[in-house]
Amino acid sequence: MLLCDVGNTSYHFLDQSHDYKESVVTFDPKTITQKVYYICVNPDIKESLDALQNWINLAEFIDKHPYYETMGIDRIVACEAVKNGVIVDAGSAITVDVVRDGHFEGGFIYPGTQAMRDTYTNISHALDYEFNYNLNLDIIPKNSQDALSYGYLKLLYNEVMMHKLEVILTGGDSVKLQHIFPDAKCENELLFNSMKKIIKKAKLC
Amino acid sequence: MLLCDVGNTSYHFLDQSHDYKESVVTFDPKTITQKVYYICVNPDIKESLDALQNWINLAEFIDKHPYYETMGIDRIVACEAVKNGVIVDAGSAITVDVVRDGHFEGGFIYPGTQAMRDTYTNISHALDYEFNYNLNLDIIPKNSQDALSYGYLKLLYNEVMMHKLEVILTGGDSVKLQHIFPDAKCENELLFNSMKKIIKKAKLC
């Protein structure tokens, strides 16, 4: 069974237990002839996939009533797999969603690590620093690298922890955020596992 | 007396009580022949101003020992004017500095409103929304505009309020942030007032 999570920058495939990525810029989905079960947050790509008979959009098999209309399908699929937790999905954007007792409470969107890094650099070259993921979140900084890192990471940390639920990390940059959330549960395959459950529930194969 | 606060995007002048801005791209500082007392965070412009005899750099008249080496001079000058408070200076970047009992505790840097807006839009056109400055910070959002606004504004709010000090708003975008910090003290002339005190203390005129 071939699964694919299409994001803003890449096609993320899972072929049995082997996962790999293809760039949204260079990859042609027509080159795949077998059946692909997918979700897609990129509106342009979604339109082109709609035209391909072997690409099955799992969004059509989910009850989206508990969520909101413009909510990214990746966030919905992640929430579907969680009973209690704050899901932090670190991709080109970081999405944070709160699920309590199986009920979606709401969520927010924050820039991904590369996007935020570019933001600071574009404001001024004086703000061109790598983030320090090992910074001490209890101390308000007195150096430039930590002042930027704190502005990005501590502010995210405060809000995530405020919900007093287990933190579930997923997405390509989850490894970086593990330093900030050392007690978080890392579920790199959260989306794919949820997609498998949806396929099973809808009896698609 | 002519004062100037040079930021990343504009020269901000105060001529007696009249303030006005000039773009860093188009304005030529040589066109001013009278004495100008200035501070400057832009390294390239600072170098060109150093060559002009009538532009007096106030950075040279401040004891920078309580601060850190790469800290922006605008932040230092703002801190010099405050005894107790969290100073939120909303320009192309938002700088947040904590001063308690006249002692600088530290600070952090966060993207300015336009920079953060561009960040979201660059991640995906699906994130192209104006911020809702009137959003309810007590409710985790269930719509896209508020999910972005919350990601930007609530996270800033949490951290600023955590220090349990008076919030002092300044900078070009302080009006927008007033909705988020309704109890804040707005001091649009915080920097210029501090510059005047520095001039007086150093007996420059």
| B179: phi then psi, degrees, rounded to nearest 5 | -65, -35
Q: Which helix (H) or strand (E) holds B4?
A: strand B2-6
One-letter amino acid of B109: I
- Biggest distance spanned by C-alpha atoms of chain B: 57
Residues of A in contact with B7 (CB under 8 A): none
Per-residue pLDDT of A149-158, as tens digits, reads 999 999 999 9
Q: How many CB atoms lie within 10 A of CB A187?
A: 21
CA–CA dist B85, B184 (Å, integer): 10
Q: A50 vs chain B: nearest CA distance in angstroms? A: 18
CA–CA dist B67, B58 (Å, integer): 16
Contact B8 A119 (CB under 8 A): no
CA–CA dist A124, A120 (Å, integer): 7
Q: B200 vs chain A: nearest CA distance in angstroms? A: 28
Residues of A in contact with B119 (CB under 8 A): 111, 115-116, 118-119
Residues of A in contact with B142 (CB under 8 A): 67-68, 71, 104, 106-107
Contact B122 A108 (CB under 8 A): no
- Give the pLDDT band (50/70/90) at residue A54: very high
Residues of B in contact with A107 (CB under 8 A): 140-142, 147
> What per-residue string of b and e applies to B73-96 under the rule 16 or more CB within 10 Å gives b?
bbbbbbbbbbeebbbbbbbbbbbb
Q: Which pLDDT score is estimated for B191?
A: 96
Per-residue pLDDT of A104-137, as tens digits, reads 999 999 999 999 999 999 998 889 999 999 999 9
Q: Which pLDDT score is estimated for B8?
A: 84
Fold identical between A2-61 and A82-189?
Answer: yes
Residues B104-125: what's their mean pLDDT?
96
We find that the CATH architecture of domain A82-189 is 2-Layer Sandwich (3.30)
B142 → chain A, closest CA residue:
A106
Q: Which residue shows structure tokens 């409470």?
A: A105
Tell me which fold the domain B81-188 belongs to.
Nucleotidyltransferase; domain 5 (3.30.420)
Q: A205 vs chain B: nearest CA distance in angstroms? A: 32
Can you give the residue ranges of every domain in chain A? 2-61, 82-189
- How many interface pairs between A and B have CB atoms less than 8 angstroms apart? 146
Measured over the CA atoms of residue B161, residue A182, residue A110 and residue A59, the dihedral's sign is: negative
**Interface with chain B: mutation pick from A123, A125, A138, A149, highest number of B CBs within 10 Å:** A123
Contact B72 A126 (CB under 8 A): yes
Per-residue pLDDT of A157-181, as tens digits, reads 999 999 999 999 999 999 999 999 9
Q: Which CATH superfamily is domain A2-61 in?
A: ATPase, nucleotide binding domain (3.30.420.40)
Burial class (CB in 10 A: 0-12, 13-18, 19+), A83: exposed
Contact A169, A186 (CB under 8 A): yes
CA–CA dist B144, A183 (Å, integer): 29
Reduced to 3 states (helix: H, G, I; strand: E, B; else coil), residue B151 is helix
Per-residue pLDDT of B2-60, as tens digits, reads 999 998 889 999 999 899 999 999 999 999 999 999 999 988 899 999 999 999 999 99
Burial class (CB in 10 A: 0-12, 13-18, 19+), A138: exposed
> What per-residue string of b and e applies to B36-61 under the rule 16 or more CB within 10 Å gives b?
bbbbbbbeebbeebeeeeebbbbbee
DSSP class of residue B116 equals H
Look up residue B22 and give its two tokens. 């000039």
What are the residue numbers of the active site of B?
A: 74
